[in-house]
Chains A and B, each alone.
Chain A
């Protein structure tokens, strides 16, 4: 008899671990594409008045670089880690909605391919990732470039939204017995916060892109000035989404550091409660700072003051996390492996990205800094420093769990130093390029502005960084092929994912563990609680064929759920959506109607009540005593 999560077809798996790994591969592929685009841009900018790229080619490449990194890499890579790790961290057998999880991945892949297919017709989006109107309006941008982006973003929004809902429900319903809300790993807090934010803000940006598409295809007037539309409406809608999104693509990464750094410092995280609350507080304030992207649009002084104040205050929860990490190092015994180097250097990069953000929060200063290369340096410290560095560190830390094999520490050192030096060589001098007035989003610049040497240094740094990424890829390849065996818990870590084998079996845990503290595997060493978690004894639940549903705050067992079955519905639904969006793009209305009906049919099949999806009561005695 096969396990219920065995997939008869490769396309039909609902195993969160397989989906997580696909997320990681796909997001990393987009990182590489965005990286290649960046290197081409940097060759063009290495010298003044270069003619490698035409203005239009440059504009398409810088736009796709931003879209790839911000939408197709930074968030999906974190979804990959969260998808893989969440049920393991929570002591669960899968996500709350395994089929929705598969849908989220497939739609992400479809959206990425949809947007990238614009290159095939030579009409990639060309108005930056922020896509300001009226330049995005049909009058100024008559090709299909912006339509690829508008429809692609709506498609991607479906993926992010269903993914977000899944994370939220999983947090509140799928934790192992005893994992009360104050015992959850910080990664859970990070992704949970990001997911709640996404559920609120994705509809805003999807709507904005939908209105823009209507303007472009059907002559509506939301953003067309000639007919009374408002260019600033776009900016408000975009940044109400855009700024929380920035936190959505760093908070889970910060969470991974908050969980892994203490393991390597051989002590619990300092200030767990403060860090968890800081995560939530950052996002709460993060909803009130979007206008700092619009300080030069001529807003009245009173709103400038409010948003300036909020943008300065948001640094306080960040300071909480920074000092918690530093305290963890100072009161711990750091083990200097590659993962640790990435996490520790992340703290410094985080602070550099943070203080440059603090500078732009000061309105009068921002009037000078805005849209110069200073902001380009800032965003790269944020996205590389706070997303890429934790992500690479997380690979060194958790790939042994995923693959059962340890990564090479020798290559790891090369990987780290090339990336760290390349990063700072490329982007530290770039602050000065900005302070000396270089505008961003220019395809070239004159030789008499004083930026020539700085730009050459940045280009060299970019290539050094790329070499570091290459070493990482080699290391991953060699690890998967012939890395040393890792064992269940190579770092002697304290959380639940290390209680099971590496790689974990399809059902994750042979029994449902019971949790009595934040670090179930460290209790015998820490000895600060009389209770003992039970990682290896508990409900067997039909030999791994069932999962446990628990209560929202205290994780008391509530019901027993069937384990997910392989299903073709997610991939079929994605296929229907992809055909629908292509049809909308090319105005194939009959095909659109047909695919709409097909989607409806798949949804009906999906939600059709079936006996095998029914839950049952947990056995009282078993739950109470494990």
Chain B
């Protein structure tokens, strides 16, 4: 599923989602209009100068009212007006087409922005209870999913360019948007409203999966965390319970904090620290030992652990799949 990483994960001159695909021709349309206008005006200015210039070094010629020149304004503004009105109409049509999803969404996900990560709640459906995860949204291919957006602290903005444009997460309000992927894949998301120190490192991913794989994933997410299978992992768990439980929830254990991301199935997620690192042993150990160096200003304190002591909790967390 991971596949080849795209060369430009946040590029929006291409699209993989219904919402974004609907807008893409308009984006290219106004871009091409803009390039043409720039080219035409540049040619007019430069050729006008070359054709009409006074030879350099010559005397300043007297002034003369040679021609009214008004035809330039009539034709130029007339053509501009036609193009502008055409664009306005096109804009309204696309707006009407994407303002609501093409079909009733399969389910709803609430995204709650935090400095600097994303709390993600899958609402209850007919056959699945609700559950909480973070920094990664999985969706089935080919169905629209409703995204409700809010924030607990400052304003953030939800953006997965391959799937749809952005919508703000505003504290005290709930905004709605929708996404629908047309092909399986991993789509990069990013916070797009300035929100303080780590605005730069507030990313996430949307993983689009075939329906059956998605159902299996959702069923696994509802389960509590797996129990340690050996003594080393059990020791890792003990350390996690001592250091991490005030801020993180691991369902099925005594860890029930809510200040940081839910870690029940953290190892099943592709990234840690809100899209900052690929989830593996090295990055996780670095993150646990030096969160303030990895992402200065984030709410996770530097723990008093040496590398050896980091191995065990990291090993336990990597089992939380």
Among B168-176, B208-216, B259-267, the stretch in contact with A: B168-176
State whether A348 touches B38 (Cβ < 8 A): yes
Is B84 a contact of A364 with CB atoms below 8 Å? no
Instruction: Say yes or no: A305 contacts B197, CB within 8 Å.
Output: no
> Is there contact, CB below 8 Å, between B95 and A327?
no
Within A322-357, the residues touching B (CB, 8 Å) are: 322-324, 326-336, 344, 347-348, 351-352, 355-356
Cβ contacts under 8 Å, B18 to chain A: none
Which residue, of A229, A367, A446, A494, has the highest number of chain B Cβ atoms within 10 A?
A367
Contact of A437 among B10, B44, B56 (CB under 8 A): B10
Chain A residues with CB under 8 Å of B199's CB are 439, 441-443
The CA-CA distance from A336 to B161 in the complex, in Å, is: 46
Instruction: State the CA gap A542–B268 with chains docked (Å).
Output: 89
Give the CA-CA distance A232 to B151 in the complex, in Å.
13
Contact with A along B48-84 (1 / 0, CB 8 A): 1101111010001111111111111101110011001
B30 lies within 8 A of chain A by Cβ: yes
Contact A364 B70 (CB under 8 A): no
**Are B7 and A450 in contact (CB-based, < 8 A)?**
yes
B194 CB contact (under 8 Å) in A132, A334, A358, A366: A132
> Which of chain B's residues have a CB closer than 8 A to the CB of A525?
62-64
Contact flag A225-B172 (CB < 8 Å), given A334-B52, A358-B34:
yes
Q: How far is the CB of B310 from chain A (nearest CB, A)?
A: 22
- Tell me the smallest distance from the CB of A333 to a CB of chain B, in Å: 5
**In the complex where A367-B164, A449-B9 touch, is A331 in contact with B66 (Cβ < 8 A)?**
yes
A207 within 8 A of B: no
Is the CB–CB distance between A355 and B33 below 8 Å? yes
Question: Given that A301-B95, A336-B53 are contacting pairs, would A266 and B172 also be in contact in the complex, using a CB cutoff of 8 Å?
Answer: no
- Chain A CB within 8 A of B227 CB: no
Q: In this complex, which of B7, B10, B68, B95 has the most chain A Cβ atoms within 10 angstroms of its Cβ?
A: B10
Whether B65 contacts A267 by the Cβ 8 Å rule is yes
Q: Which of A358, A364, A522, A525 has the most CB of B within 10 A?
A: A364
Main secondary structure of the interface of B (DSSP, over half): mixed
B86-94, B130-138, B247-255: which lies at the interface: B86-94
Q: A135 near B: Cβ within 8 Å?
A: yes
Q: Produce 1/0 per residue, A356-396, CB < 8 A to B.
A: 10110111111110111000000000000000000000000
Asked if A268 contacts B63 (CB within 8 A), the reply is yes
Q: Which residue of A lies closest to B171 (CB)?
A: A225
Q: Report Cα–Cα, A60/B236, bound state, in Å.
A: 41
Is the CB–CB distance between A301 and B196 below 8 Å? no
Whether A414 is near chain B, meaning CB under 8 Å from some CB there, is no
Q: Cβ of B153: which chain A residues have Cβ within 8 Å of it?
A: 134, 140
For B42, B72, B199, the residue with the greatest tally of chain A CB atoms inside 10 Å of its CB is: B72
Instruction: Choose among B27, B54, B194, B200 the residue that contacts A445 (Cβ–Cβ < 8 A).
Output: B200
Q: Does A528 touch B at the CB level, under 8 Å?
A: yes
Query: Is A319 an interface residue when CB atoms closer than 8 A count as contact?
Result: yes
The stretch that binds B, out of A307-315, A588-596, A611-619, is: A307-315
Return the chain A residue nearest B165 by Cβ: A367
- Chain A residues near B53 (CB-CB < 8 A): 333-336
Q: Per-residue CB proximity of B38-50 to A under 8 Å, as 1/0?
A: 1001101100110
> Using Cβ atoms and an 8 Å threshold, which residues of chain A touch B41?
322, 326, 347-348, 351
Inter-chain CA distance A525–B65, complex, in Å, is 9
Which residues of A are found within 8 Å of B77, using beta-carbon distances?
A: 316, 319-320, 323
Q: A227: shortest Cβ distance to chain B, in Å?
A: 10
Task: Find chain B residues with CB under 8 A from A352 CB.
Answer: 38
Nearest CB of A to B232, in Å: 33
How many chain A residues sit at the interface, stated as a range, is 35 or more
Residues of A within 8 A of B64 (CB): 266-267, 525-526
User: Does the CB pair B38–A351 fall under 8 Å?
Assistant: yes
- Flag if B72 contacts A323 (CB, 8 Å): yes
Q: Which residues of B contact A323 (CB under 8 A)?
A: 72-73, 75-77
Cross-chain contact A297 with B48 (CB below 8 angstroms) = no
**Which residues of chain A are near B88, meaning CB under 8 Å?**
308-309, 312-313
Given A232-B173, A296-B165, A364-B95, A333–B52 Cβ distance below 8 Å?
yes
Give A367 to B99 CA distance when docked, in angstroms: 12
- Indicate the member of A309, A330, A449 with the most B CB atoms within 10 Å: A330
Report which of A128, A231, A334, A363 forms a contact with B171, defined as CB distance below 8 A: A231
Is A52 located at the chain interface by the 8 A CB criterion?
A: no
| Chain A nearest CB, measured from B157 CB (Å) | 6
Contact partners of A417 in chain B: CB under 8 A: none
Question: A274 an interface residue at 8 Å Cβ cutoff?
Answer: yes
Does A598 reach chain B (CB closer than 8 Å)? no
Interface flag for B126 (CB, 8 Å): no
- Contact of A56 with B197 at beta-carbon distance under 8 Å, contacts A225-B171, A266-B63, A326-B41 already known: yes
Q: Determine whether the beta carbon of B7 is less than 8 Å from that of A297.
A: no
Q: B residues within 8 A CB of A526?
A: 63-65
Q: Mark B1-26, 1 if CB is under 8 A from A, else 0.
A: 00001011111110000001011001
A3, CB-defined interface residue at 8 Å: no
Nearest CB to that of B193 among chain A residues?
A: A371
Q: Chain A residues near B191 (CB, 8 Å)?
A: 439
Q: Which A residues touch B90, using CB under 8 A? A: 362
CB contact list, A405-421 vs B, under 8 A:
none
Contact, CB under 8 Å: B194 / A135 = yes
- CB of A438 within 8 Å of the partner chain: yes
Per-residue interface assignment for chain A, residues 431 to 465, with 1 indicating a CB less than 8 Å from any chain B CB and 0 otherwise: 00001111111111110111000000000000000
A443 touches B155 (CB 8 A): no
The 3 closest A-B pairs by CB, nearest first: A367-B165, A437-B10, A298-B175
Given contacts A336-B53, A436-B10, 4 further A-B contacts (CB under 8 A): A364-B94, A364-B95, A437-B161, A444-B200
11 example contacts (A-B, Cβ-Cβ < 8 A) are as follows A132-B194, A232-B170, A270-B69, A298-B175, A316-B84, A324-B72, A330-B44, A336-B53, A348-B45, A366-B165, A443-B197
Chain A interface residues toward B at CB < 8 A? 54-56, 59, 127-128, 132, 134-135, 140, 225, 228-232, 265-268, 270-271, 274, 296-298, 301, 304-305, 308-309, 312-313, 315-316, 319-320, 322-324, 326-336, 344, 347-348, 351-352, 355-356, 358-359, 361-368, 370-372, 435-446, 448-450, 491-492, 494, 519, 522, 525-526, 528
Q: Which B residues are within 8 Å of any A CB, using their own CB?
A: 5, 7-13, 20, 22-23, 26-27, 30-31, 33-34, 37-38, 41-42, 44-45, 48-49, 51-54, 56, 60-73, 75-77, 80-81, 84, 87-88, 90-92, 94-96, 98-99, 115, 149, 153-155, 157, 161, 164-168, 170-173, 175-176, 190-200, 276, 296-297
